[in-house]
């Protein structure tokens, strides 16, 4: 937790150098490493863990679902800062995407029992997006098709999460290991 300002400073410094020289692949690497490690440690490792502890008086199903949904919503909300460098429509769409991505990452964490898997998945995802777009700061206008696609994907992800966190699977998740 103490080292997150260092990660942030490194990410900002690298992004400034990279943007000036149009070396987007280096920005993609730094985004993948910083987001994959820092965001997963914060949102899945700390926030999800704190919420699981806070809701431990509830049934396991309610405890897990509330913690997963709230931590994923917070993960989406933190992406609102991107409105500082991209249009509001793009930011809103990114926030929606971040919520459903947070759901997937939470399920990966809970089902695997280790933060490493969501860190790797998140880092590889951000790296891939950075390379594919050629920039982390894409400023294209959001289309209705993109909004509809993201809403449909959100519903599909919600169904997948419901399947992965159904009662039968919840019983196999060792929450005490994650709360330590």
Summarize pLDDT for 109-119 with one digit per residue, the tens: 999 889 998 99
Residue 43's nearest CA partner among 82, 2, 72 is: 72
pLDDT recorded at residue 160: 85
CA–CA distance from 111 to each of 45, 101, 154, 174 (Å)? 14, 15, 20, 9
User: What does the radius of gyration of the chain's CA atoms come to, in whole angstroms?
Assistant: 17
**Residue 22: what pLDDT?**
55
Q: Which residue has the higher pLDDT, 146 or 98?
A: 98
Q: In degrees rounded to 5, what are phi and psi of residue 89?
A: -65, -40
pLDDT at position 105 is 94
**CA–CA distance, 160 with 27 (Å, rounded to integer):** 31
Bin 59: left if φ > 0, else alpha if -120 < ψ < 50, else beta: beta
**pLDDT at residue 59 in the model:** 93
Which pLDDT tens digit goes with each residue over 49-92?
A: 999 999 999 999 999 999 999 999 999 999 999 888 888 888 88
Please provide the size of the chain in residues. Answer: 180
Residue 1: predicted pLDDT: 45
Cβ atoms of 111 and 173 within 8 Å: the answer is: yes
- Residue 96 DSSP SS3: helix
- pLDDT tens, residue by residue, 1-47: 445 555 555 565 555 555 555 556 666 677 777 788 889 999 999 99
Lowest-confidence segment of 119-123, 145-149, 153-157 by average pLDDT: 145-149
């Amino acid at each position: 937790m103490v080292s997150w300002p260092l990660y942030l400073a490194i990410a900002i410094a690298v992004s400034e150098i990279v943007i000036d020289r149009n070396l987007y692949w280096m920005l993609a690497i730094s985004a993948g490493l910083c987001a994959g490690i820092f965001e997963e440690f914060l949102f899945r490792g700390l926030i999800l863990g704190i919420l699981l502890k806070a809701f431990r008086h509830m049934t396991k199903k309610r405890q897990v679902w509330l913690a997963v949904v709230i931590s994923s919503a917070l993960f989406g909300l933190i992406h609102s800062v991107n409105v500082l460098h991209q249009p509001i429509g793009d930011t809103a769409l990114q926030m929606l995407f971040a919520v459903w991505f947070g759901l997937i990452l939470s399920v990966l964490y809970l089902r695997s029992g280790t933060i490493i898997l969501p860190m790797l998945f998140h880092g590889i995802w951000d790296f891939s997006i950075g390379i594919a777009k050629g920039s982390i700061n894409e400023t294209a206008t959001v289309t209705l098709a993109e909004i509809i696609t993201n809403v449909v994907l959100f519903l599909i992800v919600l169904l997948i999460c419901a399947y992965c966190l159904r009662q039968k699977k919840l019983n196999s998740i060792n929450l005490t290991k994650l709360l330590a």
